[in-house]
Amino acid sequence: MAFIHNNPNPKNVRVGDCVIRAISIATAKTWEDVYTRLAAYGFTMCDMPSSNAVWGKYLKDQGYERYLVEDTCPDECYTIHQFCIDHPKGIYIVATDGHVVCVMNGDYYDTWDSGNEVPIYYWRV
């Protein structure tokens, strides 16, 4: 279970587009394609492309299902790293409080090592 640096943003931006980066990596679509699709969803929903409601609707329409992660904090917080150990197969888009990361086959793909972040929910095909 490893952190793999990956930034599909064509300008190598690292802030404010984690939802687009994670979906791009998980779906093997370009950053531009995902951004455009989320922007269209945001427009029809009158909300920002990065809002949970917008990207959640997009993933649901793509056949993804959402699952909640049990809250174990503050005793022993469950982390992205532990999520990877528990999910060695499959592709997931994992949401924390303020961040989104792609997990594929037990590795997490991001622009920074977010392994200690605490997942709240995740999407899986």
pLDDT score of 80: 97
* H-helix or E-strand spanning residue 31: helix 31-45
Confidence (pTM):
0.94
For residues 1 and 87, the model is more confident at: 87
- pLDDT tens digit string along 50-109? 999 999 999 999 999 999 999 888 888 999 999 999 999 999 999 999 999 999 999 999
**pLDDT for position 13:** 84
Predicted confidence (pLDDT) at residue 123 exceeds the cutoff of 90: yes
Q: Torsion over CA of 21, 117, 114 and 80, rounded to 10 degrees?
A: -80
pLDDT at 125 over 90: no
CA distance 125 to 93: 10
pLDDT band at residue 6 under the 50/70/90 scheme: very high
Q: Using one digit for the tens of pLDDT, what is the confidence trace for 7-53? A: 999 999 888 899 999 999 999 999 999 999 999 999 999 999 999 99
- Distance from C-alpha of 124 to C-alpha of 120, rounded to nearest angstrom: 14
